[in-house]
Structure 1
Amino acid sequence: MPSLPAPVPPGLPLLGNLLEFRAGAYQAMQNWHKRHGDLVHFRLGPRSFYLASHPDLVEEILIARPEQFVKMYTPAQPRGLALVLGQGLVTSTGALWKRQRRLIQPLFVRSRVTEYADEIVAAGRVLLQRWQALAPAASLDIGAEMMSTTLEVITRTMFNASVQDHLERLAPAFSTVLQYAADDVRLPLRIPQWLPTPRNRAFRYAMGVLDGLVYELIEERRRAGTPRDDLLDRLMRARDEETGEPMSDEQIRDEVLTIFAAGHETTAVTLTWVCYLLAAHPQVAARLEAEVDEVLGNREPTLDDIPRLIWTRAVVDEAMRLYPPAAVLIRKNTGETSLGGYRIRKDGLVIVNVANIHRHPGFWEMPDAFSPERFLADAAKPAHRLAYMPFGAGHRVCIGNAFALTESVLLLAMMARHHRFDLAPGQSVDPEIEVTLRPRGGLRLTVSKR
């Protein structure tokens, strides 16, 4: 049976669907899925995109045919995140990606993640000490609070360092470069980076902040000369299997910055949404507090507590279902083909919309409701294994998923022991895709001492 053209949302000549997409990509793609189905063809100016919102399509794209649907980044023409991360683990392909994955994977196996629990708790302690110094109830930018904490976690665990003295510069720098990367994918026309526009100048300054910190870490480690079995040591000791040459400082930089960005951003976003959902659902929060009180009493959590923090883990899982931090995955189609019976143009960009899949009514009952009960052991599971995929799928599934879950559960348990969250009056909360799925304009919550 010949393939058919995919449904197309109404658009404008030349611009296609650009205006609706730029007004809110998350909402636009959600609307197109509801109105036009699981595969939708839309245009941003001259560029063709295909929106895939069904687990069967994900199976084809990420698992069955990864050689057909490839990463859109190339060293010669970097786009999106590659402008920031270079040829790090998230953006590299082929032999380089396989080599780097083999090198970094041992740091994220479950047995190693257990070693990081103390450092995660130590970073959580810094957060709680900061909150204890505030008034009994304080209005906070909860996203910024989570970003600073997860940055501290990743530097403690991966680089044996602390970034507390750099947070005021680091967090805005990451925000700037990630927004620039997202704009590079969704804007139809690229402004050359060498032009001194305000946006380009802000990007270059932010990259200078990040590069400066990374190269400083590398130089400090070389001067210290003390071996440590962390990520930075592994990268600096690595040798090419054929030539024996060490990794260049540029490649070390790419990998360090990749772990910095991916290792803190997604967990911080997850915890931001967790705090928002708890503020909006006090009954769920009350059950969380009761579990934490019963399991922990008056002490900090340890790794051994995680199997007993069942509701805590379910809250994290359900938050990632409703607001997956990596809400979209993008692949480029390398040749004329079809998906789900629809034609896909060569070089068309296919967006796997994880957020749409996580709310697909064919797989989730009351898909828009916040219900952690879905993830308890006796709950019915969705009919497709890829109906829930917060860490991606296929051979490029997130390397740090066990680390991220351990970190999220421990930090949430620590916060719930001492504090609760309330919504600020009159605040609207709208999801926005800026590489990760963030609350548009930030999120302020009232943090109160229990």
Structure 2
Amino acid sequence: MTTGEFSPNNISAKPINVEASRILKDASVASYETAKQAGGVSTFEIFNKKVITITNADLASLIQYDNEEYFGRSEAQKHILQGVVGKSILTQDGAAWKSLKGSCNNSLSRNNIEKYHQGTQLGLDSALKIQEKQEEEASLILKRYNFESIFVQTTTKVFLNADLTAAESAKLHNAYVELAALSANYIKYPVLMLMPSWMPHPTNIRMRLKSNTIDHVLKPIIKKAISKDTKTASLLRDMDEEVIREKRCPLKGKEHFSLLKSLYIAGIKTSAVTLEWIMMYLSEYPEYWSQLSTECLELYGTDYPDVENQADPECLGNIINETMRLSPTAPLIARKVINDCTVAGVKMKKKDIILISVYGIHRSPEYWENPEDFIPSRFSKPHNPKAYLPFQLGPHTCPGQHLARRMIATVLIRLAQFYDLEPIQGKSFEYEGNVVSVPKHAQNFRFVKRK
């Protein structure tokens, strides 16, 4: 292939007719269906812009590994970030963002995350004790709000080495939930993406108010975490020292807040939703919960694992991977063309749109045997790495993936050591949402304490 051409194996996009309302109503589902209808890659026009939808893993991989020469962040992604954190390094493309991303990748590496595992444990224990006080001693009922609360506590402990009071946790959590819900309006009502975040539209105003509430809670905690007088380590301090040590752009003033708030909105929500999806599958297939409980008790007893010296049970990683394959929290990757290029034989101009269906690639029989079935053991064998992208690939890979996996694994281990999960048969696995896919029909999960 020549420079600016993205057509692996001479693949060609198939032109199809698509109503604009279909994409605007649910871009995730429409992208999957149109690409599937076209045999892997479709093309059509909306509002005088060319759109390509993709379920071909080779083409999707090429586009994701582009180093922002031809493809950049979508307008929706920029507007959501800017509405949440304001204009900063985190809402930009280019060299400044790449530099900060490199520091985040180093600080959030698997080895570095393991240093802070105790913080995850302490945050989890704190969250579960609060919940246990509200329920009968013999059982524990967890739902979406509880999963989010768990990750508010654990993320705060790991990033800031701080403990939240019950009031601070509730205030932060409620503001975060409302902010995340408001950010979805940019997808639901695309006209909002044409407005700058400062424009006095009700969504923009409410987002700023909720963002200010989060600032009010976090500001003194962040100030303490990065203070030169503070002797205790934290991930945020690691990031700060990393960018200074590497002579990258140091985080100053509001950029500490924008970084942390972005990690809160992205990390807490996606981790909580992933855990909810895992519980959906484990309550439907209780044999895997039994296997997980048995292996955790054999390996650790009732102690927390020593993650630096003890491996997780193989079935744990397989369960997490298979859940993220069938129900990826980010079912759609959107890219904006930033320089003219050719994609699957289609000449694309600046501001044209690429939509990669993660959901479609993860369920394609071309890459997965029995793709609709929940089979965790499939991840004990090699698979096509291009066809598995729950955290995306290339420069835009999620920097917090190791932290998310570690926190999710810790929660699952702790619950599996002490509780039986009551089965819930016949539930719906429908999802909703383009930015983050959540179960359309939320469940309450009942855990019974073992005697």
- AA aligned to 2:42 is V
Which residue in 1 is equivalent to 2:69? Answer: 67
Which residue in 2 is equivalent to 1:435? Answer: 435
Deviation at 1:245, TM superposition (A): 9.1
Q: Which runs of 5+ in 1 are unaligned?
A: none
How many residues align structurally?
Answer: 437
The CA distance in 1 between the partners of 2:385 and 2:324, in whole Å, is 16
Identify the range of structure 1 (162-171 vs 358-367) with the bigger mean alpha-carbon deviation: 162-171
Q: Is the contact between residue 84 and residue 208 of structure 2 (CA under 8 Å) also seen in structure 1?
A: no
Deviation at 1:230, TM superposition (A): 2.6
- AA aligned to 2:32 is Q
Identify the range of structure 1 (149-158 vs 188-197) with the bigger mean alpha-carbon deviation: 188-197
Deviation at 1:5, TM superposition (A): 6.3
The CA distance in 2 between the partners of 1:363 and 1:42, in whole Å, is 26
Deviation at 1:93, TM superposition (A): 2.3
Residue 300 of structure 2 is aligned to residue 303 of structure 1: no
Q: Secondary structure of 2:356's match? A: strand
Distance 1:87 1:198, change over 3 A: closer
- 1:193-342 → structure 2 map (5 Å cutoff): 198-221=202-225, 225-234=229-238, 247-304=251-308, 307-342=311-346
Distance 1:95 1:24, change over 3 A: closer
Q: Secondary structure of 1:80's match? A: helix
Q: Secondary structure of 1:347's match? A: coil
- Using structure 1 for the length normalisation, give the TM-score: 0.84
Q: Is the contact between residue 159 and residue 234 of structure 2 (CA under 8 Å) also seen in structure 1?
A: yes
Deviation at 1:138, TM superposition (A): 5.5
Distance 1:104 1:228, change over 3 A: farther
Which residue in 1 is equivalent to 2:419? Answer: 419
Q: Secondary structure of 2:79's match? A: coil
Q: Secondary structure of 1:40's match? A: strand
Deviation at 1:201, TM superposition (A): 4.0
Which residue in 2 is equivalent to 1:83? Answer: 83
Deviation at 1:356, TM superposition (A): 1.6
Distance 1:448 1:3, change over 3 A: closer
Q: Is the contact between residue 429 and residue 440 of structure 1 (CA under 8 Å) also seen in structure 2?
A: yes
Deviation at 1:363, TM superposition (A): 0.2
Which residue in 1 is equivalent to 2:168? Answer: 166
Q: Is the contact between residue 314 and residue 373 of structure 1 (CA under 8 Å) also seen in structure 2?
A: yes
Identify the range of structure 1 (58-67 vs 365-374) with the bigger mean alpha-carbon deviation: 58-67
Identify the range of structure 1 (412-421 vs 236-245) with the bigger mean alpha-carbon deviation: 236-245
The CA distance in 2 between the partners of 1:34 and 1:4, in whole Å, is 14
The CA distance in 1 between the partners of 2:121 and 2:67, in whole Å, is 41
Q: Secondary structure of 1:386's match? A: helix
Q: Which runs of 5+ in 2 are unaligned?
A: 1-6
- The C-alpha deviation readout for 1:57-112, integer Å capped at 9, x for no partner, is 122212246411112369xx952323223456754322212331343333223332
Q: Is the contact between residue 123 and residue 153 of structure 2 (CA under 8 Å) also seen in structure 1?
A: yes
- The C-alpha deviation readout for 1:396-429, integer Å capped at 9, x for no partner, is 3222222222222222111112223346688644
The CA distance in 2 between the partners of 1:245 and 1:310, in whole Å, is 40
The CA distance in 2 between the partners of 1:239 and 1:298, in whole Å, is 39
Q: Secondary structure of 2:437's match? A: strand
- Please report the RMSD computed on the Cα atoms of aligned residues, expressed in angstroms: 3.4
Which residue in 2 is equivalent to 1:394? Answer: 394
- The C-alpha deviation readout for 1:310-363, integer Å capped at 9, x for no partner, is 111111111111122232222111233322233434311212222221111100
- The C-alpha deviation readout for 1:189-212, integer Å capped at 9, x for no partner, is 227456665534432321121222
Deviation at 1:222, TM superposition (A): 7.0
Q: Is the contact between residue 179 and residue 434 of structure 1 (CA under 8 Å) also seen in structure 2?
A: no
Q: Is the contact between residue 29 and residue 51 of structure 1 (CA under 8 Å) also seen in structure 2?
A: yes
The CA distance in 2 between the partners of 1:341 and 1:325, in whole Å, is 30
